[in-house]
Structure 1
């Protein structure tokens, strides 16, 4: 009689099985841990969205804009974006993540909004528009945002080849009058819709701005979807929900975009060149002999100027001896109280409290009346009578005008904008954007010192060879 007992696994088989089980178990643990961590982060560390419940606004649409999601979606998101804006790149993944949760119920319509000062953004928008003519907008969109440091003709062509586009048609389309007209049209639409910076959104006509996290997008979508469903329950066909919402929407929220439409702009500052930027005894943070000087043009009612302060705080902390920041005023016409804020900082500067006033103004940008800034002065321990005289002085107003004249000469139209040892850097950059340029300029400045230039004369030395203004 033969032995019917099943042979035990050989040591090698047992070892292989154990390893496979262990690997799968570890992978499952990692997966569960990732999603658990994401849930904990969203639940306890990401604040809830501030849901807009006021007026709805109607965006001007041509009907040929790039779109993700179905025409009969209950929630329509119109995005105004700039391919050179780091916050626009940052919002793409969270927005797509949230849309995935509401697949079929949300559509995204893309509108180009290249900001003044982002000189590489208009040609990038035209490249994306050209790709759209061959059905590859979103693929080009992702490549442009994934390579923001290389927005040039050579890179655009490389992207087009990677996507399998007809290169001759792509180049003809991206340089065409039709491309420029479409970008200008989007820009005008954004200005009417209330966009002053990017990214900016209308969600079923309600305004939101900034790189919101996925959790907040889901909350916004849920809120708007429920309102759309109420219209459905009252007999509105699904495909007509957005039109019904827009029927009573306001036609205009803003007075127009900041500056001219892209095709009408003069050439702005070239980030690779060095321009002559005077300091003129303006408020300064950091030592006189710093190797790197950052001249900032800012507006106290600009939300992006406020946002960039966190990155500048890191610059101050990490480069206490090598970087100084000089603040110059650039109050935009669309922010009527920003001019009072500008004069208030300069008046406080007379008493050595410019930066303390700067911080107060950015804490409450919606209230910058003369009464409010006088209250700030009192709380900061200033001589209030002297502050009031300086606030109203013609000399103070002239300083603001002089700052504006410098910004205009440099063709720096938007805020915030920066010149790092004379090299242009635009927008609410993250700390890494400043760090990269600071390190480059610090190395150049140190070379000048090593060759015999005193540290305190480095900036003057750089400015002596700098260009007066962009363009011809």
Structure 2
């Protein structure tokens, strides 16, 4: 037994140096683990790039485009991009990471390609062009992609202030004819180069599309750099390698036109302060027939913004269960090839009373919307599958999709998602607060109609009777 008077041993004190070594060791372990994990992921889980080895295509360049990397790079990447496109935002970091591994050998030339469905993209492109005039394109580029849900006029000016730009010059430049002409020129160039969606790239003239991972970009750069080195070894000066590759490149790929009009030639969309006539046409509905507020949604099942807005819509349903009804109309965009099958699938499920259940399934699996996939959804939802298959393929179902598209086109609602709240336009994946503000405003107007004698179940018809047919040009 120990003597109670014997003092307990005190723990030895660690020196500051030993603590520092321990900290560095821990950090090194984390760092090694991170890179080891990245290596394992790239090695075993990321497929190799599909290297394009066919024809090269020439991108029309003005010479004043934003560029990152030296003029004598062996690999030239021309990127066609849209600041409202989530896939364009997703590709920026992998592309930067891959370029860092080829410092001095790769240059990136940026060209604007705002898609017709993205109404905020042309003003954002013009803002980026204006920032370029003050030497801050790439800084603005990063801010716009980091804030894709805030591309309104006030936000664009706020980004310019954040970057320390001359605001008067910025505002004059971004609204100028020169800005519009530059964006239109890029859009035309992209159409001739074969772009139909974004992001789209010509790497030494060879086409690639989509949000590729860093591993695949490195493989593409390695392959094209070797092509450049071969020309260099044969006597072509390094600064003339890209020109040599473009000497026999084709001028156009495909029809030579983009999907729709150039940005400056597009019609203006609906005025959010006005009320437009939006029919319901017995489309899938959530909420009571006598709701004071009717929300008509135009959506695309492969649109990431449409999926994102569902959280706000869920809050609307929870907080306005008795006063709001939601009517869903189809707006499958051309850039999402399987979205049309999804649209028909929801309408086919609607015939059996399961439209919203199909709606949820489709948004849960937007990457696979093949006919086999939607038939599997129908089976799991307990639908009569043979009847579902007939309705899915029916000409009547396809006509309903076309009718929805015609309504959206008449209203010039642009991309997806878009909403008409008692006929008033709200665009994009807005937060719940944006819906709440407009719902409360329209609910108060509708309640006034009820107080004046209009039956609740006739409120929407009453509002539509005085609404405008379409936006004025």
Deviation at 1:18, TM superposition (A): 3.1
Residues 197 and 304 of structure 1 are in contact (CA less than 8 Å); yes or no, is this contact kept in structure 2?
Answer: no
Residues 197 and 335 of structure 2 are in contact (CA less than 8 Å); yes or no, is this contact kept in structure 1?
Answer: no
Deviation at 1:105, TM superposition (A): 1.1
Closer, same or farther: CA 151–396 of 1 in aligned 2, 3 Å: closer
CA distance in 1: counterparts of 2:219 and 2:17, whole angstroms? 45
Point out the more displaced range, 322-331 or 60-69. Answer: 322-331
Aligned pair count reads 472
Q: Equivalent residue for 2:438?
A: 437
Closer, same or farther: CA 383–158 of 1 in aligned 2, 3 Å: closer
Residues 51 and 220 of structure 2 are in contact (CA less than 8 Å); yes or no, is this contact kept in structure 1?
Answer: yes
1:339-395 CA distance string (max 9 Å, x none): 999889868976889999999999999999999999999999999999999899886
1:164-208 CA distance string (max 9 Å, x none): 333332222112111111011111111222222222222222222
Deviation at 1:128, TM superposition (A): 1.2
Deviation at 1:274, TM superposition (A): 8.2
User: In the alignment, does 2:61 pair up with 1:53?
Assistant: no
Residues 95 and 217 of structure 2 are in contact (CA less than 8 Å); yes or no, is this contact kept in structure 1?
Answer: yes
Deviation at 1:112, TM superposition (A): 1.0
CA distance in 2: counterparts of 1:424 and 1:9, whole angstroms? 76
Residues 117 and 269 of structure 1 are in contact (CA less than 8 Å); yes or no, is this contact kept in structure 2?
Answer: no
Deviation at 1:96, TM superposition (A): 0.8
Deviation at 1:138, TM superposition (A): 0.9
* 3-state secondary structure, aligned to 1:419: strand
1:40-76 CA distance string (max 9 Å, x none): 2222333333333333222211111000011121211
CA distance in 2: counterparts of 1:164 and 1:460, whole angstroms? 51
Closer, same or farther: CA 380–151 of 1 in aligned 2, 3 Å: closer
Residues 48 and 216 of structure 2 are in contact (CA less than 8 Å); yes or no, is this contact kept in structure 1?
Answer: yes
CA distance in 2: counterparts of 1:196 and 1:389, whole angstroms? 32
Residues 87 and 210 of structure 2 are in contact (CA less than 8 Å); yes or no, is this contact kept in structure 1?
Answer: yes
* 3-state secondary structure, aligned to 1:401: helix
Closer, same or farther: CA 471–143 of 1 in aligned 2, 3 Å: farther
Point out the more displaced range, 337-346 or 200-209. Answer: 337-346
Point out the more displaced range, 230-239 or 114-123. Answer: 230-239
Point out the more displaced range, 58-67 or 314-323. Answer: 314-323
Point out the more displaced range, 357-366 or 403-412. Answer: 357-366
Point out the more displaced range, 281-290 or 431-440. Answer: 431-440
Point out the more displaced range, 218-227 or 149-158. Answer: 149-158
1:248-273 CA distance string (max 9 Å, x none): 32222244222221111222246899
Point out the more displaced range, 38-47 or 349-358. Answer: 349-358
Q: Equivalent residue for 2:239?
A: 239
Residues 117 and 268 of structure 1 are in contact (CA less than 8 Å); yes or no, is this contact kept in structure 2?
Answer: no
Closer, same or farther: CA 199–444 of 1 in aligned 2, 3 Å: farther
CA distance in 1: counterparts of 2:453 and 2:24, whole angstroms? 63
Deviation at 1:154, TM superposition (A): 3.4
CA distance in 2: counterparts of 1:213 and 1:429, whole angstroms? 29
Point out the more displaced range, 312-321 or 335-344. Answer: 312-321
Residues 330 and 415 of structure 1 are in contact (CA less than 8 Å); yes or no, is this contact kept in structure 2?
Answer: yes
Q: Equivalent residue for 2:276?
A: 275
Note the residue ranges of structure 1 that are not aligned, 5 or more in a row. none
Closer, same or farther: CA 459–253 of 1 in aligned 2, 3 Å: farther
1:417-461 CA distance string (max 9 Å, x none): 677997878789999999999999999999999999999999999
TM-score (norm 1): 0.70
Deviation at 1:157, TM superposition (A): 3.2
* 3-state secondary structure, aligned to 2:12: helix
* 3-state secondary structure, aligned to 2:415: coil
Note the residue ranges of structure 2 that are not aligned, 5 or more in a row. none
Residues 85 and 427 of structure 1 are in contact (CA less than 8 Å); yes or no, is this contact kept in structure 2?
Answer: no
Structure 2 counterparts to residues 279-428 of structure 1, below 5 A: 279-282=280-283, 328-330=329-331, 399-414=400-415
Closer, same or farther: CA 360–83 of 1 in aligned 2, 3 Å: closer
Deviation at 1:311, TM superposition (A): 13
* 3-state secondary structure, aligned to 2:14: helix
Residues 259 and 413 of structure 1 are in contact (CA less than 8 Å); yes or no, is this contact kept in structure 2?
Answer: no
Pairwise CA RMSD of aligned residues?
7.4
Residues 378 and 385 of structure 2 are in contact (CA less than 8 Å); yes or no, is this contact kept in structure 1?
Answer: yes
1:218-276 CA distance string (max 9 Å, x none): 12222222233333334433222222222332222244222221111222246899866
Closer, same or farther: CA 238–389 of 1 in aligned 2, 3 Å: same
* 3-state secondary structure, aligned to 1:293: strand
1:88-126 CA distance string (max 9 Å, x none): 222211111111011111111111112223222222211
Closer, same or farther: CA 49–419 of 1 in aligned 2, 3 Å: farther
Point out the more displaced range, 77-86 or 326-335. Answer: 326-335
Residues 117 and 426 of structure 1 are in contact (CA less than 8 Å); yes or no, is this contact kept in structure 2?
Answer: no
Deviation at 1:38, TM superposition (A): 2.0
TM-score (norm 2): 0.70
* 3-state secondary structure, aligned to 2:52: coil
Deviation at 1:312, TM superposition (A): 12
